[in-house]
Amino acid sequence: MSPPSHSLMSSHKCMIKAYFFHSIITILCFLNTSSPSYGQEDKQYSTCNSSYTCGNIQNISFPFWGGDRPQECGLPQFELACEANQDPLIHIDGHNFRVLDINGDNQTMRIARNDLEDDICPDRLGNTSFNDPLLRYGPDFGILILFYACPFDIPSESKKFTFSCNNTGESSHGFYPDQSFISFWGPKYGSCERNVIVPVLLTAFKRFQDQGSTKILELLKQGFDVVYNKSVLCLACERSGGLCWSETDFAEPSCLCQDRTYSYNCGYRLLAQGNNRHISVKIAIGISSAGIGIILICYMIYWFVFKKSSATCLLLPKQRREHQNVEAFLRQYGSLAPKVYSYSDIRKMTNSLQEKLGQGGYGGVYKGNLNGRPVAVKILNSTKGNGEDFINEVASISRTSHVNIVTLLGFCFNGRERALIYEFMPNGSLDQHIYGEDSKLGWEKLYEIALGIARGLEYLHRGCNARILHFDIKPHNILLDEDFCPKISDFGLAKLCLQKESMISMLEARGTIGYIAPEVFSRNFGGVSHKSDVYSYGMMVLEMVGGRRNYSAERSHHSEIYFPRWAYQRLVTAEDLNIQCIKTKEDEEIAKKMILVGLWCIQTDPSQRPPMSKAIEMLEGNLEAIQFPPKPFICSPSRSEGSSMIPLGKPTKPFVYSSSSSTLDSTEHLVI
């Protein structure tokens, strides 16, 4: 008989080790369930532990509140307005949405714009924008763009895609484009006064797209899916038997347990509170201490018997694959790979995550100290993605070495604990410096920042062995050092492609609407390439200039003004730009130069956009040498009360693209 194969023996050993480990888990579960209760549930725990009904929806629980449910039982941004036999309403970024359904199991809700329920021509037009990091679009997601006040006649064969609005007393035409419509509306869409982006269910759109505008309201009434993410702290709290609740308006909720409220999870930092503590608490402490002792003994036995090499056997298959990806990455890059740190190292260098620098959809950023050097540590949410974005960011940025690219100093990948260690940028991100009268950056410094970002992007695009496409260029992802030298950061959505590839295939949308190039979500505009980053750069440069515009001099409601269109008209008519802080002729020349470069970069046709090398040439050259760009069609985001950016997140499966083509497949995506 032949000896068993090495892989079979390895698999058998792994099963034995996993069995040993899960036996320990079983003992722990027994200890946990046999521990005495901390006392009767108090009124708060009882209230928040029960689900409730709001309007037409039943069995609603955390993070929602409203109606009969107090605010502390949910998160502040998830308030529901309840009315009997009606859909609940939720307010998100300046708009009211009808809540059609809530699925607590997969943490999704289906919502629909309330202002578009009965009328496709509301009095106030505005894009749907989600700036809350706890919200992202569901997988069945598409984009519908509605065009309003278009001063041209529609061909008779396309009349079914049109509608009329009479809000101002005068009838005006509007339409939504279908795929066959592009040959007509392509050259003319820039003349429409307004356009609005509305998310829809992609499957529903495919059913209705050929039936014309009479079905638009029916499509909009069906709404779209939104995934609401609980924070990592909430997940830890619930697993310990507690309930997340917002005792205050702080971003991070507390953990409400049967005996009291804890910072993170039930039993965390258990402290006696006077002499009125139940004897059961003391018993619980004793049993817990004994349980901890048993855990430590079992762990020591396991460690010395099976050695550290067996650690991957304890992981779930998905986690094992992720660790294998990390190991493959480390083997591939060898000594060039960033240093790997343990999570205990991360805790030490950040002083237990003491100083928080910022928060995003990915997680939080904390200030740390690495061998006397200040660093920024990005702690990633374990619920975000499947590890691919993490490896993608590490792999992409490890290929770079440029003064305008942020430096990755190391990372931590330990199961669900993931962190990235970057050089510390004392002046934060660009978005903190470009808006309003308080900005202390002069026009010369703004110009230097725009030029530095362009050089960093040009470096990524020309590369050595492969191009790096960033796909998320925006002010928030540009960091500034002590001298305000810009550095491109956040490569989580980046994509590597060979130098010879002019177009790339994509399985999901990447980026932030408002900065995302049109071709990324519709093949009607061309294929996805490095020119998609050029578009994002152009929008960002225009944002840098537009953040200083004197809105009050023109209209009290500055949310109704879209800067790129406004700036284009000003340059065409040679009017004064009326931008704050322009004091000299040199300042005005810089502003005009940045606007012209930005307008070239946001051309609808990717082939008309300059490569980054040409953008640098225009920025460094004379203003008179820059040709006047064609008027670009721009999806004008109507800013409700703040940013109009729509974070796409990363869908769990392809929703508009075909992976079988080197360019985007027009039969597989939502036509806009």
Residue 443: closest CA among 299, 318, 582, 269: 582
Q: Which residues are annotated as a binding site for ATP?
A: 378
Q: Which residues contact 267 (CB under 8 A, 6 or more apart)?
A: 240, 257, 288
Q: Is 472 tagged catalytic? A: yes
Contact 525, 666 (CB under 8 A): no
Question: Could you count the other beta carbons within 10 Å of the beta carbon of residue 362?
Answer: 21
Q: How far apart are CA 402 and CA 419, in angstroms?
A: 22
Q: How long is the chain?
A: 672
Helices (H) and strands (E) in the chain, counts: 16, 27
Helix (H) or strand (E) holding 414: strand 408-414
Selecting among 87, 93, 472, 587, the annotated active-site residue is 472
Contact 581, 518 (CB under 8 A): no
Neighbour order of strands in the sheet with 261-262: 243-245, 254-256, 261-262
- Tell me the CA distances in angstroms from 90 to 101, 111, 134, 196, one per residue in order: 12, 9, 15, 20
Q: Which residues contact 3 (CB under 8 A, 6 or more apart)?
A: none
**What is the CA 227 to chain-centroid distance, rounded?**
12
Q: Which residues are annotated as a binding site?
A: 378
- Structural tokens at position 481: 């050092």
- Tell me the CA distances in angstroms from 649 to 204, 255, 488, 620, 669, one per residue in order: 21, 27, 19, 35, 17
For strand 80-81 and strand 89-92, is the pairing parallel, antiparallel, or unpaired? antiparallel
Question: Could you count the other beta carbons within 10 Å of the beta carbon of residue 23?
Answer: 12
Angle of helix 279-306 versus helix 6-34 axis, rounded to 10: 170
Which phi and psi (to 5°) does residue 236 adopt? -65, -40
Active-site residue numbers? 472
